[in-house]
Copies of this chain bind each other. A is one copy, B any other.
Amino acid sequence: MIRFHITKKSKKSNARLGLLKTPHGAIETPALIPVATQAVVKALTTEEVVQTGTQALIANTFHLHLKPGEKIVKRHGGLHRFMRWQRPLMTDSAGYQVFSLGFGMDHKVGKILKKRSENKVSHPSAQPQNVKITETGVHFRSPVDGSPLFIGPKESIRIQESLGADIIFAFDECTPPTASHAYTEKSLERTHRWAEQCLEYKKTKQALFGIVQGGRFKDLRVESAKMVAGLPFDGFGIGGEFGGDKKRMMHMIRWVIDELPEDKPRHLLGIGYLEDIPKVIKSGVDTFDCIVPTHFARHGAAFTSVGQLDMRKKIFLNDTKPLDPRCACEVCQTYSRGYITHLLRAKEITPLRLLTSHNLFFFNTFVARIREGIRQGII
């Protein structure tokens, strides 16, 4: 059960301020939803995540189904209790990951690819037949142990119910950026049937968001948005894989938003970079998940008021300033650039946390300022 109140609408753009109330507290929107893929924000404790000003997290249904399995999470009292996170939680539908097993291997895109190589799992590479789509769902092989698995709308809802997040998503096919109009159309029809089935299957009071797909095609995006908007979802996810084509993504968001009802929350699944955030918010998106602050941190990048800094560079070793002298986060109150650079170059674990924590604080502050801008009527 969620309730969504729009508290202010921008006169300069489609941006809106809102309050998304969930059983675990409210989210001030627009809001960044950092990723807790495997029920943890990589490198941080939940206490630290709270200190970064993070309002809600999104966990990964696919990964948690594989490890540790939703039954174990349920036995721990659900995801909130398992990971000791008292604030709002979302889980995605697993669709993106399941399908990226197929097209990710063809097109070298998708988060799952990296995950697989990290886990050193051998598998027949670039074989789209690894993923077999039927009317009831997708057959695929576990990237953990190669065993045959199946997830469809029924399974996705069942898993997400066991995990127990406040907001869950309908199972969808996220088509590859290269998919033809014909394939995308066929896929979309199936995704729409799955959307209806998800609404039917859901037994809990969790909020269920429908996902708009349709690839890069305006007619299909509009059709999808209209269709999904017509179903009794609690909110809407905007899905899609654009392989880094941000211009195309922004077009797509505009086509879709125009068709979605104003009074329900809109979540953009997997936004890109810091510079995309203002545009996305201005186009009328309320929440969005983003791996950039956390993922980049683990590769040594600090987001600062003077831009993105590669803290692995030797030049910072003598720098006694904080990561960002204008930042109010705990890391910037405590440690110097020089120390963090030393730790990165020495292959320590601690700097990954320090950068993750700082970057999340930086992104959350960035979004909070945009909210303030909307409040003041300047955005």
Contacts and interface: CB of A to CB of B under 8 A. Distances in A.
A182 interface: no
A348 B38 CA distance: 8
A127 B84 CA distance: 51
Contacts of A336: 76, 82
A338 B44 contact: no
B84 A346 contact: no
A304 B110 CA distance: 41
Interface stretch (A165-173, A258-266, A350-358): A350-358
A42 B82 contact: no
A73 to B, nearest CB: 8
| Number of this chain's copies in the complex | 2
A302 to B, nearest CB: 16
A103 B367 CA distance: 56
A350 B48 CA distance: 11
Given A68-B342, A339-B82, A75 B318 contact: yes
B72 A40 contact: no
Nearest to A339: B82
Candidate in A42, A76, A341, A346 with the most chain B CB atoms within 10 angstroms: A346
A354 B347 CA distance: 19
A133 interface: no
A19 B45 CA distance: 35
A335 B77 CA distance: 13
B339 A349 contact: no
A118 interface: yes
Contacts of A345: 67-68
B353 A39 contact: no
Contacts of A349: 42-43, 349, 352-353
A341 to B, nearest CB: 8
Interface size class of A (residues with CB under 8 A): 35 or more
A318 B350 contact: no
A343 B40 contact: yes
B44 A76 contact: no
Contact of A45 (B63, B76, B346, B353): B353
A82 B341 CA distance: 11
A339 B84 contact: yes
A45 B348 contact: no
A147 interface: no
A362 B189 CA distance: 58
Contacts of A47: 334
Contacts of A347: 118-119
B43 A342 contact: no
Contact of A43 (B40, B44, B350): B350
Interface of A: 38-40, 42-47, 63, 67-68, 72, 75-77, 82-84, 118-119, 317-318, 320, 334-336, 338-339, 341-343, 345-350, 352-354
19 contacts: A38-B342, A38-B348, A42-B348, A42-B350, A43-B349, A45-B334, A45-B350, A45-B353, A45-B354, A46-B334, A63-B346, A67-B345, A68-B317, A68-B342, A72-B317, A72-B342, A77-B320, A82-B339, A83-B339
- 8 nearest interchain CB pairs? A43-B349, A68-B342, A38-B346, A40-B350, A67-B346, A72-B317, A68-B317, A40-B348
